[in-house]
Amino acid sequence: MTSMTPEEKLQSLWQRGCEFLGCRYAILGGAMSWLSERNLVSAISNAGGFGVIACGSMTADLLDAEIAATQQMTDKPFGVNLITMHPDLEQLIDVCIERGVTHVVLAGGLPSGASIARLKDAGVKVICFAPVLALAKRLIKSGADALVIEGAEAGGHIGPVATSVLAQEILPHIEEVPVFIAGGIGRGEAIVSYLEMGAVGCQLGTLFVCATECIAHADFKKAFIRANARDAVPTVQIDPKFPVIPVRALVNEGTRRFNDAQREAAARVEKGDVELKDAQLEIEHFWAGALKRAAIDGDVENGSMMAGQSVGMVREEKSTEEIIAGLVEQAVHTLESRG
């Protein structure tokens, strides 16, 4: 019996992920607000990966235009990431269905069974984030078609547990649906290790910030190229009575401004001037604006420099095609070196 080549072995390892996404390589683009738009998303899909539009705080009209523009730039499949706490979630789901989007990622909170059912009834595959095993099982019962396990090494909003630990906790116990791994992944060797543990593919965000097709400001990209892994740190919760989800970012003046914003919001909640959930939503809006200030406008001192710890592996600007080809080459070489 002829043994498999390293390329065939890799294909075998992520076959389920490739078939689920409908792409050549089971590499998902992490949905990064302001940056995961038509240019980067279409580039990832055209290079054999699976691009994902970050809807973020977009209105239904803006999302409709973004999907249409992306469809003009690629004939390959791509997905849309929707935030479950978005006030217009139902209209955004309508847009995805009407535009024939094949995959929707529901993020930023526990999605309702009704939202999952609406998408599935329309033939859309639903991907959800699972931070713990119990929630992973619950999401599968609710109808999730696939899961993403994202560890604390990721950029932006994060949970408290490392990717490697989550993978060990969850992967051995989930067989019903495909599971993708995210958080701190910057090389093909890591992709292979997670595939061999039972994942069907990986999601990467930080590595694509310095893609030539990414619309991030040149100064934002320069900051990523200069940064080391230890420079991307989580924000601190100032007041235990005012819980906020930590955000991993490069430390700058914007980090200090966030701490001030937290103090002010917590004080207003304490006085009864504002409800806790409204104050927490204000903090989310703070992040969205601060990220745009840095990533799009180039104010890398006062804006938010959201970045995962894999930022230490970003050393130059490259095309999306080169980034994906490099990951695949590293993965194949890892399998080849075993003989």
Say if 220 falls within a structural domain.
Answer: no
d(CA 125, CA 17) in angstroms, rounded, equals: 13
- Say whether both 135 and 242 belong to one domain: no
- Say whether both 54 and 138 belong to one domain: yes
Q: What is the pLDDT of residues 149-170, one digit of tens each?
A: 999 999 999 999 999 999 999 9
Which residue in this structure is represented by tokens 């019996």?
Answer: 1
- Say whether both 51 and 183 belong to one domain: yes
- Say whether both 235 and 209 belong to one domain: no
d(CA 129, CA 191) in angstroms, rounded, equals: 18
pLDDT for residue 47: 98
Q: Which domain holds residue 101?
A: 6-215+314-336
Per-residue confidence at 1, pLDDT binned at 50, 70, 90?
very low
pLDDT for residue 2: 64
Q: What is the pLDDT of residues 219-254, one digit of tens each?
A: 999 999 999 999 999 998 888 888 888 899 999 999
Name the E strands within 84-200: 103-107, 125-129, 146-150, 156-157, 179-182
Kindly state the average pLDDT of the residues 138-150.
Answer: 97
Q: In the numeric block, which tokens belong to residue 88?
A: 């217009």
- Say whether both 328 and 299 belong to one domain: no
- Say whether both 249 and 273 belong to one domain: yes
Say if 61 falls within a structural domain.
Answer: yes
Say if 221 falls within a structural domain.
Answer: no
* Predicted TM-score (pTM) of this structure: 0.95
Per-residue confidence at 277, pLDDT binned at 50, 70, 90?
confident
Say if 24 falls within a structural domain.
Answer: yes
- Say whether both 122 and 209 belong to one domain: yes
Instruction: Report whether pLDDT(288) > 90.
Output: no
Is the alpha carbon torsion for 272, 276, 281, 282 positive or negative? positive
d(CA 54, CA 62) in angstroms, rounded, equals: 12
pLDDT for residue 3: 87
Q: What is the CATH number of the domain that holds 318?
A: 3.20.20.70
Q: In the numeric block, which tokens belong to residue 72?
A: 């003009």
- Say whether both 21 and 99 belong to one domain: yes
Residue 200 sits at φ, ψ, to 5 deg, of -105, -5
- Say whether both 101 and 246 belong to one domain: no
Say if 205 falls within a structural domain.
Answer: yes
What's the structural domain count of the chain?
A: 2
- Say whether both 270 and 287 belong to one domain: yes
pLDDT for residue 339: 67
